[in-house]
Amino acid sequence: MRNPTHLLVVDDDIGILDLLRRYFAGQGFEVSTASNGAEMRSVLGRTGIDLVLLDLGLPGEDGFELTRQLRKSWNGALIIITGRGDSVDRVVGLELGADDYVTKPFELRELLARIRSVLRRSASSSAEASDGAAFHFAGFSLDPASRTLRSDNGDSIALTTGEYELLHILVGHPNRVLSRDELMEHIHGRSAGPFDRAIDVQIARLRRKIESDPANPELIKSVRGAGYLFAARVQTER
């Protein structure tokens, strides 16, 4: 029998921890909780966690710094929960590698949908990786089987789940303009709102990792009023 998906909820509000523990357990998840960064690291160190729900407003440690630490040492899915309601906070969270964000107060069903969307994308990518086809472009190799990006000298380039998903769809559709809505639907399972900068943030992060001059990109080009185009020549290898 397949083990249930294991969530780690990190929040200093005991009421929220209890609410989310009971709700997600009722939805078939295994749920662990932590009220600060030290407890979060302890749980991650001893337990296999599939997805972390991280509140930015923790006492003692900055939530953004915890996000940065997670992305350096852990490869699972990460959804930020923020009560600040500031789009800048959400953008910074995405820049640091979060796969999605939810603003407090939130609807439990919406949070559940966001979690399932992130997990579904991860599972879909694993299934797609089974065909063994790797993508080669501009001195880089993207290997879906291992979900890794390497430069031509063999160096591994760390990608968050969202960055990997975005690069994967771009290299799979070279020289085709993809709208923000198409990219958002593929990566986050929803359309882009009028003020949603998630795709732009992740495009900027990818450019810093693969462009020789991110300010003047040659691989991921912006198409004004339309979206983005991956301009490199892409070859596949099985």
Q: Which residue has the higher pLDDT, 154 or 171?
A: 171
What's this model's pTM, rounded to 2 decimal places? 0.64
Widest pairwise Cα distance in the chain: 52
Provide the mean pLDDT of the chain: 84
What confidence category does residue 117 fall into, taking pLDDT thresholds of 50, 70 and 90? confident
Task: Lowest mean pLDDT of 17-21, 32-36, 145-149, name the range.
Answer: 145-149
Alpha-carbon distance of 73 to 145, in angstroms, equals 21
Average the pLDDT over 45-55 and give the result.
91
Q: Which amino acid is at 225?
A: G
pLDDT at 185 over 80: no
Average the pLDDT over 122-139 and give the result.
67
What pLDDT score does 125 carry?
53
Q: How far apart are the first and last CA of the chain?
A: 32
Strand order in the sheet with 30-34: 30-34, 6-10, 51-55, 77-82, 100-103
What pLDDT score does 24 carry?
96
What pLDDT score does 130 carry?
43
pLDDT at 195 over 80: no
Alpha-carbon distance of 166 to 189, in angstroms, equals 12
Average the pLDDT over 97-109 and give the result.
85
Strand order in the sheet with 148-151: 156-157, 148-151, 140-143, 134-137, 235-237
Average the pLDDT over 204-214 and give the result.
93
Report the run of H or E that residue 150 belongs to, with start and end.
strand 148-151
Alpha-carbon distance of 167 to 206, in angstroms, equals 8
What pLDDT score does 51 carry?
93
pLDDT at 41 over 70: yes
User: With pLDDT > 70 as the criterion, what percentage of the chain qualifies?
Assistant: 86
Ordered by where they begin, the domains of the chain are 6-126 (3.40.50.2300), 131-237 (1.10.10.10)
What confidence category does residue 194 fall into, taking pLDDT thresholds of 50, 70 and 90? very low
pLDDT at 215 over 90: yes
Average the pLDDT over 208-216 and give the result.
94
pLDDT at 27 over 80: yes
